[in-house]
Amino acid sequence: MRTTIKMIAILACLALVFAGCGAGGNTEAVDLNSYTLEEIVAEAQKEGDVQSVGMPDTWANWGASWEGLTAEYGITHTDADMSSAEELTTFANDNTKDIGDVGLAFTQQAIDEGLVQSYKTTYWDSVPDWAKDPEGLWMIAYTGATTFIYNNDICDEPMPTSWADVREGTYKLTIGDVVGGATGQGVVVATAYAFGGDLENLEPAFEFWTEMAEAGRIDAGDIIPARIQAGEVECGVTWSYNAPGYRDNAANYDITIGIPSDGAILVGYASIINKNSDTPFAAALAREYIFSDAGQINLAKAGAIPTRTDVVIPEADQIFAPETYANAVGISDPAAYAAACEQISIWWSENIIPLL
C-alpha cells in the first residue's frame, strides 16, 4: 500500500511539472519587444483570443476597442471585471488572464511581485515619460478626471459643482471600494486637494469623510451601472471616462454629470500584461490597439483624456471640453500616489468601515 501511495505521489508530481505546475503552459515570458509588429500580429492570430481583467465594455468605452480588435485582427475577447487589487491576485494565479488595467497606485506592486512583462508598442515615443514605466512594464493610455454623477430625480437639491457644495448637501455619496479599489482611493485623494491638502497631507480628506460617515451620508455599495439604473445612487463619484456611459445607460432617470471645480485629480489607469500569459502576443496586440489612433479616440469618446501627444481627437469625440478639467491636479508620481492610497486604504478600513 505504501509503495502504491509513493508511486501515485511521484506520478502526480511529474504531472505537475509537465503541466507547468498546473498554472498554464507559458512558464517563461517571451521578449515581446524583440518581435516586429508584423510578427506579433501573426503570432497573436495563431493564439486567436485575449482575456482581460478589469476592462469591461462599460469602462472607458473598452467595448468599442475590443470590437475594433476583433474586426481588424480576428482576435476574440472576454473580460472578467474586478478591482485593481484583484487583478494582481489573478495574474499571480491564472495564466489564462492576459492583460489588465490597474490604477496608478498598483503599478509598483505589480513590478515588485514580478507579475508583468514588457511591451513598449510602436507608439512608445509619443507617450509622455510620466505615463510609462521606463522598461515598458506598464503604460498609461488615458487619464480621467474626478467626476460627479447626480440623480436629479431622487435628490431634492441642485447638483453639486464643487466639494464645498457636497459638504453642504444631504444626499448620500457613492464612491465604491476604498480599501482595495483604485477609484474609491482616487476620490479620497481628490477631496484632500479640495480642502487644502495633497498627497502628503491627507488629513483634510480624512476629516471630510469622517464627517460624511457620521452623518450617514456614505453609501457602502459599488458605483456600477446596474445600481445607477435602479436609482440606488444619489450622488456618485467616478472618473470622467465612466460617467457619460453610466448616465446614458440610465435613461429612465434625469442624471447629470460634471467635474468638480475645487477638487478634481487627473489619474491614469495602466495597461499591464501578465508575465505568465498563455497568449502573450494577443495581449501585446491588444495593448498596441489601445494606443493606436482608433484606440485613443475610443477612449476619448468615453470622456477619457488620451495620453498620446500626437493624436488629434475630433472635437465631436470630446465629451468634456479641456476647460472643464483645466484646474484638475495631474498625478504623475506613482510612488507618492501609491503611498497615499495605501495610507487611505488602511485608514478607511480602521476608521470608516466601522461607521458604515
* pLDDT score at 332: 87
Euclidean distance between CA atoms 308 and 53, whole angstroms: 23
3-state SS of 114-144? CCEECCCCCCHHHCCHHHECCCCCCEEEEEE
Cα-Cα-Cα-Cα torsion 41, 43, 46, 51, nearest 10 degrees, comes to -80
Written as one letter, the residue type at 271 is: S
* pLDDT score at 105: 87
The beta strand positions in the chain, using DSSP E, are 49-53, 76-80, 99-103, 116-117, 139-151, 173-174, 218-219, 235-239, 255-258, 265-274, 305-306, 329-330
Cα-Cα-Cα-Cα torsion 71, 75, 76, 80, nearest 10 degrees, comes to -110
Please report where in the chains the cell 482595495 appears, as a residue. Answer: 180
In 94-224, which residue ranges form alpha helices assigned H by DSSP?
107-112, 163-168, 182-194, 203-214
pLDDT per residue, tens digit, the chain (356 aa), is 333 333 333 333 333 333 333 334 444 679 999 999 999 999 999 999 999 999 999 899 999 999 999 999 999 999 999 999 999 999 999 999 999 999 888 999 999 999 999 999 999 999 999 999 999 999 999 999 999 999 999 999 999 999 999 999 999 999 999 998 889 999 999 999 999 999 999 999 999 999 999 999 999 999 999 999 999 999 999 999 999 999 999 999 999 999 999 999 999 999 999 999 999 999 999 999 999 999 999 999 999 999 998 999 998 998 998 899 999 999 989 899 999 999 999 999 999 999 99
Q: Which residues contact 216 (CB under 8 A, 6 or more apart)?
A: 172
Please report where in the chains the cell 506613482 appears, as a residue. Answer: 334
Euclidean distance between CA atoms 356 and 261, whole angstroms: 28
Domain ranges of the chain: 31-356
Neighbours of 109 (CB within 10 A): 15
3-class SS of residue 238: strand
Would you give the distance in Å from CA 12 to the centre of its chain? 39
Q: Which option is the CATH number for 31-356: 3.40.50.300, 3.40.50.10260, 3.40.190.10, 1.20.1280.50?
A: 3.40.190.10
Question: Rounded to the nearest 5 degrees, what angle is found at the Cα of 292, between the Cα atoms of 291 and 294?
Answer: 120
Neighbours of 203 (CB within 10 A): 11
Euclidean distance between CA atoms 348 and 356, whole angstroms: 11
**Do 100 and 87 form a contact (C-beta atoms < 8 A)?**
yes
